[in-house]
């Protein structure tokens, strides 16, 4: 690896000063996109390494879809440099697209074709596709293989979108809110699908509003707010979460007690000694991803709101 | 150092074209609205109007023999111009086109699929109308070299109207609005182009308007196949003007193609 940004670090802040990373699956510098007078993406820098799952988090309208669709070649940019698999997406041709899998936020459209026919026709656009029936199995649509696209439920349609996105055996898979409308079981099944794709070496850029999804799947998380990337980190370290004090709470004399500490183990040992065994209602908590996320995007956390 | 990019190979064009042809045929024939609208409606019109307007247009020839060539032209207009305008506008607004643009599918394959769809439905509507005309109204099939005229008028007309339909699809935001826009236009054209009424009975200024569009010329070309040459005297020029039919339809092909190239979009306006 020739570039320092190619080494995943716990908290790799955006590096606008560095040149595009040719080793990265996606490399973005100073990306700007305006719609009329409003700026949707406002100087965004990003490197996504080959083989990693990168989750982009951010509130509605933060600029996630705009960024992702610029990388996919669907949208123009007003400024900045973008390389996706070494190619400027604005000029990417068929061979470049053959390496991508794209699941759009808006879905793949309506059809009178059955799920199996749709996945098969999609497979025929690639030279080395996955087996369509296996793909339907992977997304849990085997029973619906003979049902027409427009007769599917919302969550089933979304699974079909995912099937269409992966059947071409992509090197780089874009997933823009892929699990919207999934029931909990489908979401777990999707997670294991994503993990098995990662094991096969697929790079993935995922946007989601589900923090548990980002935490469960992503190697790194980027938080985007008002068109800027405010932080990039591994999920457990986001917002200084890893080094934040733990909150130890217990009940003593009928009163709930809490204590912030960097040495929770010592405190718990001390409490255990004092109570001579079980500490009533003992809990040790770190700030959740949701806590740090809401703080990062400038919203009050639930506790702050009730306080 | 740049990593060595293994550029993937691409499947042969012919295979993708076959896939798209299959997709488009299934999309058309499985959708009840498009089948009823494009295939059943002209047949119903032929049967109903033929029964009502069964008068002598001269030389002992019944109106149905004049009406059949007109409805053949209108049938082609339906499966090509109207069908393309509505189906492509629908596919653009529901994201089908954007999805395809994100795959390595060669873009030509989309249009090949549409052309196969139009060819298949054109053959279907022509065969049905010829049979219905024969069975219900005893209008004979073309004979000898008339088949040749029949074939080139049908092909050139379908080509012009398909290209025009693809171009027009970009004007509408949704399939519904494309339908609301194109259906009344097609209806008016049918009234002033010599489909439901004899062209010689249409006011001159309306004839002039109709002469700009392909439908009038397709109907005229088909009339030359079905009516005796003596009735060519009723045409505005006093003859069938087959050379002019070919030129006007050919010009519409060129204009339609230019418009397609200039205006075709793979996603909704303002989303790029
Ligand atoms: N085609 C467009 N025309 C005008 N404005 C747009 C367009 N697309 C997006 N925007 C605006 O750009 C901003 C960013 O939109 P974008 O779709 O990228 O957000 P997002 O982060 O994907 O949001 P969500 O979580 O709701 O999907 C929003 O304020 C949106 O209104
Ligand atoms: Mg979005």
In a domain, B26, yes or no: yes
Atom of ligand 1 nearest to the CA of A68: 18
What's the pLDDT score for residue A2? 40
Cα separation of A49 and A203, whole Å? 8
Q: Whose CA is nearest to atom 9 of ligand 1?
A: A66
Q: Whose CA is nearest to atom 27 of ligand 1?
A: A60
In a domain, B268, yes or no: no
A16 pLDDT tier (thresholds 50, 70, 90): low
B196 vs A129, more confident: A129
What's the pLDDT score for residue A5? 40
Strands lying side by side in the sheet with A228-233 = A100-103, A172-176, A203-207, A53-57, A220-225, A228-233
In a mutagenesis test of the A interface, which of B103, B175, B268 is the best target, namely the one with the most A β-carbons within 10 Å?
A: B103
What's the pLDDT score for residue A240? 75
Where are the alpha helices (H) located in chain A, listed in sequence order? Answer: 64-71, 94-97, 115-123, 132-138, 154-166, 184-199, 211-217, 264-275, 289-296, 302-306
In a mutagenesis test of the B interface, which of A27, A34, A40, A125 is the best target, namely the one with the most B β-carbons within 10 Å?
A: A125
Provide residues of B within 8 Å CB-CB of chain A.
1-3, 5, 7-11, 15-16, 19-20, 22-23, 26-27, 30-31, 90-91, 94-99, 101-106, 267, 271-272
> Is A303's pLDDT higher than 70?
no
What's the pLDDT score for residue B6? 62
In a domain, B121, yes or no: yes
3-state secondary structure of B254: helix
What's the pLDDT score for residue A299? 63
Which class for B228: exposed (0-12), middle (13-18), buried (19 or more C-beta within 10 A)?
exposed
Q: Whose CA is nearest to atom 11 of ligand 1?
A: A40
Specify the number of domains making up chain B: 1
Cα separation of A47 and A82, whole Å? 10
In a domain, B272, yes or no: no
Q: What is the pLDDT of residues B193-225, one digit of tens each?
A: 989 888 888 899 999 999 999 999 999 999 999
What's the pLDDT score for residue A305? 54
- As given in the structure block, the two tokens for residue A240 are 């200084």
Atom of ligand 1 nearest to the CA of A58: 21
Q: How far is the CA of A61 from the centre of ligand 1 (A)?
A: 5
In a domain, B3, yes or no: no
In a domain, B7, yes or no: no
Do residue A22 and residue B95 have CB atoms under 8 angstroms apart?
no
> Is A193's pLDDT higher than 70?
yes
B105 neighbourhood in chain A, CB within 8 Å: 125
In a domain, B270, yes or no: no
To 10 degrees, what angle do helices B63-77 and B41-52 make? 160
Domain membership of residue B64 as a residue range: 13-263
Q: What is the DSSP letter of B105?
A: -
In a domain, B108, yes or no: yes
Do residue A125 and residue B97 have CB atoms under 8 angstroms apart?
no
> Is A239's pLDDT higher than 90?
no
Cα separation of A152 and A115, whole Å? 9
Give the number of A-B residue pairs with CB atoms closer than 8 Å. 103
DSSP assignment of B20-83: HHHHHHHHHHT-HHHHIIIIIHHHHHHHHHHHH---B-STT-BHHHHHHHHHHHHHHHIIIIIH
Per-chain residues with Cβ under 5 A from ion ligand 2 = A 64-65, 105
Q: How far is the CA of A10 from the centre of ligand 2 (A)?
A: 26
Cα separation of B199 and B63, whole Å? 12
């Amino acid at each position: 690896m020739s570039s320092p940004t190619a080494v995943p670090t716990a908290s790799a802040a955006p590096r606008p000063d560095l040149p595009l990373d040719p080793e990265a699956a996606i490399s973005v510098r100073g990306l700007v996109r305006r719609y009329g007078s409003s700026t949707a993406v406002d100087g965004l820098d990003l490197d996504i390494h080959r083989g990693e799952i990168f989750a982009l988090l951010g509130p509605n309208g933060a600029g996630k879809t705009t960024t992702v669709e610029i990388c996919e070649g669907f949208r123009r940019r007003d400024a900045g440099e973008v390389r996706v698999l070494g190619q400027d997406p604005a000029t990417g041709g068929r061979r470049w697209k053959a390496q991508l899998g794209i699941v759009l936020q808006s879905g793949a459209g309506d059809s009178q074709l059955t799920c199996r026919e749709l996945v098969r026709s999609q497979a025929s656009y690639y030279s080395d596709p996955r087996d369509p029936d296996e793909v339907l199995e992977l997304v849990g649509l085997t029973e619906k293989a003979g049902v027409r696209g427009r007769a599917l439920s919302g969550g089933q349609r979304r699974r079909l979108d995912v099937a269409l996105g992966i059947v071409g055996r992509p090197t780089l898979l874009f997933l823009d809110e892929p699990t919207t409308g999934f029931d909990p079981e489908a979401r777990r099944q999707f997670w294991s699908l994503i993990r098995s794709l990662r094991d096969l070496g697929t790079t993935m850029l995922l946007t989601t509003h589900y923090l548990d999804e980002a935490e469960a799947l992503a190697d790194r998380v980027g938080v985007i707010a008002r068109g800027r990337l405010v932080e990039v980190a591994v999920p457990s370290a986001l917002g200084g979460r890893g080094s934040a004090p733990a909150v130890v709470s217990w009940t003593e004399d009928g009163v709930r007690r809490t204590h912030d500490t960097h040495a929770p183990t010592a405190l718990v040992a001390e409490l255990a000694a004092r109570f001579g065994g079980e500490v009533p209602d003992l809990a040790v908590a770190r700030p959740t991803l949701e806590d740090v996320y809401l703080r990062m995007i400038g919203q009050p956390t639930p506790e702050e709101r009730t306080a | 150092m740049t990593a060595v990019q293994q550029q993937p190979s691409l499947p042969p064009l012919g295979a993708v074209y076959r896939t798209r042809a299959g997709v488009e045929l299934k999309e058309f024939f499985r959708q009840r609205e498009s089948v009823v609208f494009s295939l059943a409606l002209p047949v119903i019109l032929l049967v109903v109007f033929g029964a009502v307007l069964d008068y002598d247009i001269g030389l002992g020839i019944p109106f149905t023999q004049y009406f059949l060539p007109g409805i053949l032209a209108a049938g082609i207009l339906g499966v090509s111009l109207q069908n393309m305008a509505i189906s492509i506008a629908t596919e653009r607004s529901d994201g089908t086109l954007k999805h395809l643009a994100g795959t390595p599918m060669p873009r030509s394959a989309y249009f090949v699929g549409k052309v196969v769809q139009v060819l298949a439905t054109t053959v279907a509507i022509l065969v049905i109308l010829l049979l219905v005309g024969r069975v219900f109204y005893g209008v004979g099939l073309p004979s000898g070299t008339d088949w040749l005229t029949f074939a080139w008028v049908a092909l050139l007309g379908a080509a012009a109207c398909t290209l025009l339909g693809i171009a027009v699809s970009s004007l509408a935001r949704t399939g519904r609005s494309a339908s609301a826009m194109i259906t009344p236009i097609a209806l008016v054209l049918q009234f002033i182009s010599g489909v439901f009424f004899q062209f010689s009975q249409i006011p001159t200024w309306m004839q002039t308007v109709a002469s700009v569009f392909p439908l009038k010329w397709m109907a005229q070309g088909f009339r030359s196949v079905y009516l005796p040459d003596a009735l060519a005297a009723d045409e505005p020029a006093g003859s069938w003007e087959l050379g002019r039919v070919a030129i006007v339809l050919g010009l519409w092909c060129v204009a339609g193609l230019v418009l397609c190239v200039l205006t075709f979009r793979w996603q909704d306006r303002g989303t790029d």
